[in-house]
Chain A
Amino acid sequence: MSDFWIILTGCLAAISCGLLGCFLILRKMAMIGDAISHAVLPGIVIAFLFSGSLNSFPMLIGAASFGLLTTFLIELFNKKGGLQKDASIGITFTWLFAVGVILISLYADNVHIDQDCVLFGEIAYVALEPLTSLLPGISAPNTVWILGTVMILVIAMIVFGYKGLFLTTFDPSFAATIGVSTVAWHYLLMSAVSVTTVVSFESVGAILVVALLIAPAATAYLLTDQLPKMLIIAALAGIIASIGGYYLAVWLDASVAAAIATVLGIEFTLVFLFAPKNGIIIKKFIK
């Protein structure tokens, strides 16, 4: 049963991240996703001090607010400070991450966040959690409940907000003319990324969540030009990597999250080389 919970946790995180990642890379914001996933650390620590646990409502608030603060600071340094975009991303997230690490050392007695966990998480812990039954007839570990809820919220946001997300992604000026607020959708998306990052944090850590955000989306991007197909392919790529990664990790006796990232890398490499239209080897043959 523990295999099942670990794989399910991986899949749930991978689906949420993969779907959001599609919008990130289409909006040329891949590195902002990276920045958010690091910069929520101080938010997590502060929320931990208040609530004493990683799975809690204050945690989501803390994380979401630091996620929004990150995007806000990046924009501020970029627009008001005249700092180039990539530099403002780099400065913002390293600074907030450093503050997070300092807070962890400062409150080491009260905050039980493992340093390793910050970087690459420990998905296998999900198998050790007691099962709770929130819906009749279904009992699952807490992490699965939380990741499942977030995944449903992310899917709901994309389904019901599809038009707004689509327009603000591909044609922001047209969206603005017909009265769709690009700013509102931008910050909604960023909040979703922050929350997803945080709930995935314990399982996959700050850096590997970036792999889940970007790699499936990039893989899907090379396979199709249509957004709905891209979303589905990204989710599938995440699911395949979660299953494959788990067995790779068992075989090597190594970190599951790292193995998932590795499989995502393999998926991307295969698509990069052999994709029907965009693969570089295929392109050579056509020539």
Chain B
Amino acid sequence: MWLFDQILEFFSFQDINIRYVALGTVLLGASSAIVGCFTFLRKKALIGDTIAHSILPGICLSFIIFKTKDPLMLLLGAMVSGWISVYLVDYISAKSKIKPDTAIGLVLSVFFGIGILLLTYIQHSGNAAQAGLDKFLFGKAASLVQDDVITFGIVSVLLIGTIIMFFKQFSLISFDIHFAKTIGLPVRMFEILLSTLTVLAVAIGIQTVGVVLMAAMLITPAAAARFWTDKLKVMIVIAAIIGAFSGLFGAFISYTAPSMPTGPWIVVVLSFIAIGSLLIAPKNGAISKIRKQQKNKRKILEDNILKLLYKLGEKENDYFKNRSITKLKNHREIPENKFLKGLKKLRKKNQVANVNDLWVLTEKGKKSGMRIVRIHRLWELYLTTYLRIAPDHVHEDAETIEHIITPEMELKLKHLLDFPEKDPHHSDIPYKKDDNE
């Protein structure tokens, strides 16, 4: 019941502090996820990490120069140095043989080093006003106040508004930058605008979750959402929901257990959603991919067994003779247990039948076996006739294609080759009785 009470207390939002923290983390989670979708799709997932580390020198410099902690001045400094870092990564990798990932690691670690150098310099210089600058390092989500939430709100509206306004342009430069260039879109300008939005999202978010974890706020929701959809608009909505939910959850955990840090919990929740999506998403998930693979493997095994039984029948002129697995094994290298598994599956489909330990094709199974052999031989003939490949080189290719060809493609092949009788190795190409129609 304790948990239930906690949940009730939290979601009633009676406590004004909870309201700010929850609202703040939700706004942050959603808006950084939306911006993150574009950096993710542009294959610049780590640019958020670069910016997060690189805004520190800007913050410190603007504090040293203007002697104030006015959030707007600090934000300005953060924007400038974050922006320079993005530019430098591009510049270094374009102008030298240094690879982009090296450039990213170089820029982020050196900028962060300069930032820490300035920060420790400020701290040791005895200026009492500096206290609190270190929230840019670790984030202070649990201490969000009204002003922060107002800032978050304004920035979120700004980010989302800009993205809606230039949605078409942004999606163009994310998916096909060359096409965008060809149709005369000012690509460079929109890239700069998108970078600016990213820098802005990072500069705001970092105060909540800290330097290291900011990268996750941008890309993890986008990566998770990508598994569920192929449509950009849907992806953005899903990412925003995941970001918002994780923000809320993180706030809830640090409310129930005040010693728990909010930022890391948000990231842990995000990561679990992403890993879960990676596993179970219906089309792109790992599990469904493995299933598909297994299904293909099973089909190949079954096809091969039917083909073998048919060819043996062809050779011995008796399609319906009972044959033992030992005998089948002599003709094709398949482990015995695999043979048994495949045969049992085929029995369920009524393609083969068995008497004791002997196996035999059914009428239905004979037709299936015949079809595979036919496709195999047609394809061999196609390769030798149309691609001029030597007859002794076509078997391997046909072994693969025979499992893939659809009835429509088969018909096309037959018409293209004009219902040939022999394959390149002078074996008969078997047809059904009604095949010539």
The interface of chain A, by Cβ under 8 A from chain B, is 25, 28-31, 33-34, 38, 77, 80-84, 86-87, 89-91, 94-95, 97-99, 101-102, 105-106, 108, 115-116, 119-120, 206-208, 210-211, 213-215, 217-218, 221-222, 248-249, 252-255, 257-262, 264-265, 268, 272, 278, 280
Is the C-beta of B284 less than 8 angstroms from some C-beta in chain A? yes
Are A211 and B109 in contact, CB atoms less than 8 angstroms apart? yes
**CB pair B216 A94 closer than 8 Å:** yes
Q: Is the CB of B112 within 8 A of A261?
A: yes
Chain B's nearest CB lies how many Å from the CB of A252?
5
Measured CA separation A81–B215 after assembly (Å): 20
CB nearest to B266 among chain A residues = A98
Chain A residues lying within 8 Å of B113, measured Cβ to Cβ, are: 207-208, 211, 257-262, 264-265
Q: Which residue of B lies closest to A251 (CB)?
A: B121
Out of B118, B213, B268, which one reaches A254, CB within 8 Å?
A: B118
A82–B46 Cα gap in the complex (Å)? 17
**Is the CB of B296 closer than 8 A to any CB of chain A?**
no
Which residues of chain B are within 8 angstroms of A116 by Cβ–Cβ distance?
134, 137
Structural contact, A95 and B271, CB atoms closer than 8 A: yes
Closest chain A residue, CB of each to CB of B259: A105
**B45 touching A90, Cβ below 8 Å:** yes
User: With a CB–CB cut-off of 8 A, which chain A residues contact B265?
Assistant: 98, 102
Is B301 in contact with chain A by the CB < 8 A criterion? no
Within 8 Å by CB of B110, from A115, A211, A217, A222, lies: A211
CB-CB < 8 A to B284: which residues of A?
A: 82
Q: Which of A84, A119, A258 contacts B43 (CB 8 A)?
A: A84
0/1 per residue, B110-154, Cβ < 8 Å to A? 111111111111001100000000100110000000000000000
What is the bound-complex CA distance between A28 and B100, given in angstroms? 9
> CA–CA, A51 to B44, complex, Å?
40
Contact between A25 and B96, CB atoms less than 8 A apart: no
14 extra interchain contacts, Cβ-Cβ under 8 A, other than A98-B267, A116-B134, A261-B117? A31-B101, A90-B216, A91-B223, A94-B271, A98-B271, A116-B137, A208-B109, A210-B108, A218-B103, A221-B98, A259-B117, A260-B113, A261-B110, A272-B96
CB of A253 within 8 A of CB of B125, answer yes
* Residues in chain A near residue B109, CB distance under 8 A: 34, 207-208, 210-211, 214-215, 261
Chain B residues with CB under 8 Å of A213's CB are 105
The CA-CA distance from A139 to B117 in the complex, in Å, is 31
Let me know if B114 and A265 touch, CB within 8 A.
yes
Residue among B118, B219, B220 with the highest chain A CB neighbour number at 10 A:
B219
Report if B158 contacts A (CB, 8 A).
no
- The tally of residues in B whose CB lies under 8 Å from a CB in A reads 63
The answer on a CB contact under 8 Å between A222 and B46 is no
Chain A contact residues, majority secondary structure: helix
A105 contacts B260, C-beta separation under 8 Å: yes
CB contact between B106 and one of A29, A252, A268 (< 8 Å): that residue: A268
Ranked 6 nearest A-B pairs via Cβ: A261-B113, A265-B110, A94-B216, A258-B116, A211-B109, A95-B271
Question: Chain B, 75-106, contact with A by CB distance < 8 Å: what is the 0/1 string?
Answer: 00000000000000000100111110111111
Collect the chain A residues with CB atoms within 8 Å of residue B48's CB.
Answer: 90
- Report A-chain residues with C-beta under 8 Å of the C-beta of B118: 254
Which of the residues A31, A206, A260 comes within 8 Å of B105, measured between beta carbons?
A: A31
Q: How many Å lie between the Cα of A183 and that of B114 in the bound state?
A: 37
Interface membership of B238, Cβ < 8 A: no
Residues of B within 8 A of A29 (CB): 101
B274 proximity list for chain A (CB < 8 A)? 91
| B371 contacts partner chain A, Cβ-Cβ < 8 Å | no
**Is B117's CB under 8 angstroms from A262's CB?**
yes
Given A80-B286, A81-B278: A86 in contact with B43 (beta carbons within 8 A):
yes
For B46, give the chain A residue with the smallest CB separation: A86
| Contacting residue for A84 out of B45, B97, B108, B110, CB 8 A | B45
- Specify which chain B residues have a CB less than 8 angstroms from the CB of A31 in the assembled complex: 46, 101, 104-105
Report yes or no: A102 in contact with B264, Cβ–Cβ below 8 A. yes
B369 within 8 Å of A (CB atoms): no
Kindly state whether residue B53 has any CB partner on chain A within 8 Å: yes
Q: In the complex, A33 Cα to B109 Cα: how many Å?
A: 12
Check if B35 is an interface residue, CB within 8 A of chain A. no
Residue among A101, A115, A120, A222 with the highest chain B CB neighbour number at 10 A = A101
**A234 shortest CB reach to chain B, Å:** 13
Q: Which residues of B contact A278 (CB under 8 A)?
A: 96-97
> Contacts of A105 on B, CB cut-off 8 Å?
259-261, 264
* A residues less than 8 Å from B53 (CB atoms): 207
B211 x A207 contact (CB < 8 A) = yes
Who on chain A is nearest to B254 by CB?
A105
| Contact (Cβ within 8 A) B213 A262 | no
- B402 CB–A CB distance under 8 Å: no
Whole-angstrom distance between the alpha carbons of A194 and B316 in the complex? 64
The residue that B220 contacts in the complex, of A84, A94, A253, with Cβ under 8 A, is: A94
Per-residue contact bits, chain B 391-407, to A (CB 8 Å; 1 contact, 0 not): 00000000000000000
A100, closest chain B residue (CB):
B264
Q: From the candidates B45, B105, B226, name the one contacting A34 in the complex (CB within 8 A).
A: B105
Q: Which residues of A contact B226 (CB under 8 A)?
A: 83
CB–CB A90/B215 < 8 A:
yes
A99→B211 contact, CB < 8 A: no
Q: Does B382 reach chain A (CB closer than 8 Å)? A: no
Q: With a CB–CB cut-off of 8 A, which chain A residues contact B111?
A: 265
Alpha-carbon distance between A265 and B114 when the two chains are bound, in angstroms: 9
